[in-house]
Structure 1
Amino acid sequence: MDTLNDTPIEDQAPPTTPEDLFRRFAELGIEISAHEHEPLFTVEDSKHLRGLLPGGHCKNLFLRDKKGRPWLIVCDEDRVVDLKALAPRLGAGRFSFGSPERLWSTLGVRPGSVTPFALINDPDASVTVILDAGMMAANETLHYHPLVNHITCAINREDLVRFIRACGHDPRTVDLDEAAAG
């Protein structure tokens, strides 16, 4: 249950729909292409069912640090992220995964639909956003769910950063290999 509402999160209406998101992209002059498919809940599901969409396919980790602050780590789908080593290098102390209720109350999405596009639902910019430098350097086009996990959108990497900034966030681009070392 969401602590702010006694209705289970799966029964609550989302704060922003994919259509609302697409309108925001249009307002910003951001072009995306959307591909519908079966719901995908994991990277492995995605690899099997997405088809051949060119560009970088990504995973998004919704985390909280030891002070309870929310973080969103956006990286290549195959990247192994050592959260124990990464957290202190980013100044977080320690990371743990955010609960479904915290995900819903912070970003307005359910598990399986975590995406940087959900930052549209964080007007107070409470989430610290980390973009993997390797993902950004290797891919001109990146793929994310548009708040639901039965659609995948392709977006240009510069437009992704522009969108995140338009949502009031200042994303940090971090070499996750370097950040986890040492």
Structure 2
Amino acid sequence: MDGYQIVEDKLNELGIPFEIVEHEPALTTEQADSFIEGIEGVRTKTMFLTNRKKTEYYLLIMDDAKMLDMDEFKEKIQANKVRMASSESLMEKMGLPPGVVSPFGLLNNKDKDIKVYFDQAIVDEERMSFHPNTNEKTLFLATQDLFKYLEAIGYEYTILDV
């Protein structure tokens, strides 16, 4: 079963409505945004991060236009050092290639060992958009339904001001 189908099946199972936009593969955030121009919903970026020793993994979801201050983030989560996780770690933990990271990759995380964080600036938005385990589609869903999805698959999340 392909990565998108797993996402669609889980959202349908949970009774979570969503809107899907199909498009050519999006290789950059700017390109992805151009494919969904005019559709209501915050454009997100999801970063897969790790600590120095690769013993902890973090998924940070924020507005795609915002820059992350890694030093500030590591202080807030009380980690020694935080950096982008390698493509190998991404594939191992979420079964995804770079450029496709989203909360839907958590469906592939058998160990449930990824900590999920949201930037405070986006949690009051009505809808969010993500790649649903493929960069050939963009999925829109209500923010509250995203939280419902995370809880249903066994993930807690933390809201931070980053």
1:122 and 2:126 matched: no
Match of 2:72 in 1: 85
For residues 80 and 152 of structure 2, what CA distance do their matches in structure 1 show?
28
For residues 149 and 27 of structure 2, what CA distance do their matches in structure 1 show?
24
1:32 and 2:18 matched: yes
**Which of 1 and 2 has greater Rg?**
1
Task: Select the residue among 39, 42, 65 that pairs with 1:53.
Answer: 39
Match of 1:179 in 2: none
1:147 and 2:116 matched: no
TM norm structure 2? 0.94
For residues 85 and 132 of structure 1, what CA distance do their matches in structure 2 show?
12
Deviation at 1:66, TM superposition (A): 2.1
1:100 and 2:82 matched: no
For residues 153 and 20 of structure 2, what CA distance do their matches in structure 1 show?
20
For residues 99 and 34 of structure 2, what CA distance do their matches in structure 1 show?
15
Judge conservation of contact 1:123–1:168 (CA < 8 Å) in 2: no
Deviation at 1:112, TM superposition (A): 0.8
Deviation at 1:39, TM superposition (A): 0.9
Deviation at 1:124, TM superposition (A): 2.1
The one-letter code matched in structure 2 to 1:38 is E
1:65 and 2:51 matched: yes
Of the structure 1 ranges 84-93 and 94-103, higher mean CA displacement relative to structure 2 is found in 84-93
Q: Which runs of 5+ in 2 are unaligned?
A: none
Of the structure 1 ranges 150-159 and 118-127, higher mean CA displacement relative to structure 2 is found in 118-127
Match of 1:164 in 2: 150
What value does the CA root-mean-square deviation take over the aligned residues? Answer: 1.3
Of the structure 1 ranges 116-125 and 152-161, higher mean CA displacement relative to structure 2 is found in 116-125
Q: Which runs of 5+ in 1 are unaligned?
A: 1-14, 177-182
Deviation at 1:32, TM superposition (A): 0.7
Match of 1:41 in 2: 27
Q: Deviations over 1:103-152 (max 9, x none)?
A: 01101111110001111111321101001111112x10100010000100
TM norm structure 1? 0.84
Q: SS at 2:155's partner residue?
A: coil
Indicate how the Cα distance of structure 1 residues 120 and 16 shifts in structure 2: closer, same or farther if over 3 A, else same.
Answer: farther
For residues 153 and 161 of structure 1, what CA distance do their matches in structure 2 show?
15
For residues 67 and 170 of structure 1, what CA distance do their matches in structure 2 show?
23
The one-letter code matched in structure 1 to 2:88 is E
Deviation at 1:16, TM superposition (A): 5.4
For residues 170 and 123 of structure 1, what CA distance do their matches in structure 2 show?
15
